[in-house]
Structures are given as structure tokens and as C-alpha cells.
Amino acid sequence: MSITNDRSSPWSAELSEPKGPSRNGFVIAAIIAAVLFVAVIVVAVVVTDHGKTTSVATPTTTSTPKGTVTTSTSMTAASGSSSPAAIPAAQATPPSLAGAYSTDPATVMRAITTYADWVFSHPNPALLNNYMLPTCDQYNGVKAELTTLYDRGWHARPSVTTIQWVMVNVPFTPAPGFLDGYPAYVGGGVKAVVTHTVQSSDILNAAGQVVDSAHNAPLIMLGVNFAQGPDGRFRIISEGAFNPPGGVAAFES
């Protein structure tokens, strides 16, 4: 699925540097326009409690300068693949969030996006805090959607949200102090273009039958900001979808 709360919403959020060392929250909750239940859009789903991920990695010490553009290499191989083995969201255990400790916002974006895909394929509202801060505007809507999927025994078809293009818009900058042993940083953010396969919109019941559609847009332009949680890991604190008059070319300029 994806990482925004409303693919079809006309609102957009300007990327801005959070004030001071962030201790707040954020989201890359993959979008899911659930027709039969909650009117908010987010990401994907299942009935089992897979538990909270506890993977921890030493934070990297290199940052990507502002304006640096990278392309996704970690997820494109699975894009459009019909092989469950190639799709992290189809695995029994969640993907690692070690990359969300990185001081490169683009690396954080990739790690959270992959994890959010898995959460919506294995819905459990308790897992939302692993990649989104409660102060994020989309937090309550995403949690409500995951709760509905969990309660109904539904889930999103395992798929890959492919990051076609990502640019670090605001780098992380060092701040005084530590968070659970990790150096503190002022939050930063990225601009990204993500795509979804047609199959990613399928909502399945416990028997694997299609019961609804998430109506995932094939392509979404996003602005995503990150801030550290109390454990030092970066999470989504704000995000918004963009639709500039010049399309993708204008967004990537």
C-alpha cells in the first residue's frame, strides 16, 4: 500500500523543519480508501497479532545533503511481482525497521514504507506506533482503519509500494542530548513519488477472497516529515499529497 492518509484529498502539506528536537510523531501509513467503513484513506491489513518489532541498529553517521536525489533500489525488484517470496509484506514476520534509525531521511522513507505495507497486510493497530507518531494528523484515521480491518478479519493483498523517486528536502540536523542512547536530531523530510500495482487495492477476507478495494492511485506525489520517537527511531510526523499543475516533472524540479 502507501504512506499517506488520503490519496484523493485536495489538501497538501508544505514540508517544513520541525521546531526543535522532535519528541513528537509522524506517518507513512499506506493509503487505503476503505469504501464500506471508515471514510478516511490510509494503508493495508490481517487478523493476527504479530507483535511489535524490536529490531535495533546502530544509527548511521552520514546524512544526505538537502536536494540530493536518489532512486529506490530496495523495493523495485518486487514491484509487480506475483511471487510472494519477493514481497516483504507477504512474509510471516515484519521487515526490519533498522533503516528508520538512519540519519538519511531517504533511507528512513524506504524502511517505513516497506514496514507500512506489511502492517496493512497483517493489520494490528498496536503496530502503528512503530512507524507513525501519535501527533501526526493522520494517526487517528490510520489507526481506525487498521482497527476495522483487524476486527473484520480483513487485510490488504500483500504488495509493494515502489518509491520511484525521492529527494531529501530537509536533512536531519544534530540536536543536544540523546534518546534512548541515540544522538538526538531535529527532524527532516523528503519529497517522493510512489507507485502501486492494480492488485495493491484488493482487500481480502480471511479466506483470501476480495471483499473491497482500497482504490490506490497508481502514482502519488508525497511530502513526508520525520521526527524521532522516545527510542531514537524516526517516525512519520506529518505528510501530504501533492498535485502540482506541472505534474511529476514540476514536483521533481
Break the chain into its structural domains and give their ranges.
Answer: 69-252
Please report the pLDDT score of residue 218 as a whole number: 96
Q: Output the average pLDDT for the chain.
A: 76
The one-letter amino acid at 57: A
Please report the pLDDT score of residue 24 as a whole number: 28
Please report the pLDDT score of residue 219 as a whole number: 97
Please report the pLDDT score of residue 86 as a whole number: 83
pLDDT in tens, 3-12: 544 433 222 2
| Structural contact between residues 174 and 63, judged by C-beta atoms closer than 8 angstroms | no
Please report the pLDDT score of residue 61 as a whole number: 35
Query: What residue ranges of the chain have pLDDT lower than 70?
Result: 1-85
Please report the pLDDT score of residue 84 as a whole number: 59
Please report the pLDDT score of residue 22 as a whole number: 26
pLDDT in tens, 62-98: 344 445 555 443 333 333 444 556 899 999 999 999 9
Q: Which three cell numbers stand for residue 216?
A: 490506490
Please report the pLDDT score of residue 21 as a whole number: 27
Under DSSP, the state recorded for 175 is E
Other C-beta atoms lying within 10 Å of the C-beta of residue 209: 10
The kind and range of the H/E element at 225 are strand 219-228
Other C-beta atoms lying within 10 Å of the C-beta of residue 84: 11
Global confidence as pTM: 0.73
Residue 167 phi/psi, 5-degree rounding, is: -130, 135
| Structural contact between residues 195 and 216, judged by C-beta atoms closer than 8 angstroms | no
- Say whether 133 sits in a helix, a strand or coil: coil
Please report the pLDDT score of residue 74 as a whole number: 35
Q: Which of 47, 41, 32 is closest to 155 using CA atoms?
A: 47
